[in-house]
Amino acid sequence: MRILILPGNDWIFGPKQYLHDIAEIMGKRHDVFVWHFNLLQNRKPCLQKVKNVKLIHPWSMSSNSLLLYYVVNFIPHSMLFSRLVRKMHIDVVIVANLIPALWAFSLTPKKVLKVFAFQDYFPESASAYYNNLPRVFRKIIESIAFFVNKLNLKMANIAFCPCHSLINLSEKMGCKRNYFIPNGVDTDFFNPEKSDPELRERLCLSKHTLVFYGLIESWLDFETVLSGIKILKKDFPHVKLLVIGSTLTNYTKVLEIMLREAKLTGDVVLTGYVPDELVPYYLNLGSICLMPYRTDTFSGKIRLPLKFFIYSAMGKPILSVPLPEVKKLNPQHVFFYTDAEDLAHKASMIFNNEKLKKELEAYAKEFAKNFDYISIAQECEAILEKNRL
């Protein structure tokens, strides 16, 4: 197959995309092309490796605004796409982006399979980047994004969804063939055997360290986590929080203000961006990993996040807000907390019971094997072959 992917963000310098690793695996057996939206050419908060896929670099007008970037490049990108999709004899077009899906699906020949990667609840995720605007403007953005999202799903032949809630929503919005393609994990790369004692000393971390890994943005509830840390300090005075990751919106500055107000600047380590090859070593510095999402939005309630599978592969017990999609998988190594006191209580339970901690670590590693990228890529490949026009 010849597959063209239009991702939801900058494939190279943005956070790792839904289908990134799957595309790399399929790229060993098929011709997989990725449209590079050069969104982050100045900031470059991350750096993703590209091995088996071939990048298409369209000429683009740069902009610091995501929305403006897609709008001003609508015509030049769509014209190039219209030529390339025919010239390159593409069999499958996969789009994980609202605005580009409009021109991609409209200009894709009828014989080409159109796949919408419904990776997130786009109306809320789109407005999340405009928290500095008045609420009424964010509501307008959400309404427009909802309309575009619905139109994209109606134009698509099939949809890939990383959770069952999005499958149900996709059906309601007009796509009749929907497939569960979860985020997965490379269980060989995220290996709990990767450790660096010198790194622990350099970062001044204790054995009672909680870890968060991922983008630092407004959809996270660090207030509850920091309150929980303050409670934990009564019994574990050397407890630490390690935050691994960068931001696309300067939200790290908001977190730094929280730390000063909570008087926890000495108890929390912010690493900033960490190269992929070093992430396992940083994750291994913690005893417990965190999934502190806000659940006051639809997006917050439907998450089945990538970090869940990464934490599991690393053999880590997890403290998480109640996430229905995670609960459906019945993971025995995940403890759900509802407030700061509950978080502190469950962290204490794990810290104080070495036997329990070992059992949870063993279970987590076995659990992650069910979501290895190789098996997910094979399933994805079979779905595409089955639905090819």
Domain residue ranges in the chain:
2-184+372-387, 197-371
Compute the distance between CA of residue 275 and CA of residue 3 in angstroms, rounded to an integer: 28
pLDDT, mean of residues 188-194: 93
What pLDDT score was predicted for residue 130? 66
Q: Is the pLDDT of residue 129 over 70?
A: no
* Confidence bin at 43 (pLDDT 50/70/90): low
Q: Is the pLDDT of residue 389 over 90?
A: no
* Confidence bin at 123 (pLDDT 50/70/90): confident
pLDDT, mean of residues 379-385: 97
* Confidence bin at 122 (pLDDT 50/70/90): confident
Q: What count of residues does the chain have?
A: 389
The residue with greater pLDDT, 125 or 283, is: 283
β-pairing verdict for 288-291 and 240-244: unpaired
What is the CATH T-level fold of the domain 2-184+372-387, as seen in this structure?
Answer: Rossmann fold (3.40.50)
Report the half-sphere exposure of 336 (CA within 13 A, side-chain side).
13
Run of H or E residues at 178: strand 178-180
The residue with greater pLDDT, 15 or 173, is: 173
**% of residues, the chain, pLDDT over 70:** 96
What pLDDT score was predicted for residue 99? 93
pTM of the entire predicted model: 0.87
Q: Is the pLDDT of residue 270 over 80?
A: yes
Question: For the stretch 162-171, what's the b/e string if a residue is b when 16 or more beta carbons lie within 10 angstroms of its beta carbon?
Answer: bbbbbbebbe
The residue with greater pLDDT, 66 or 259, is: 259
Superfamily of domain 197-371: Glycogen Phosphorylase B; (3.40.50.2000)
> Greatest CA separation found in the chain?
66
What pLDDT score was predicted for residue 296? 85
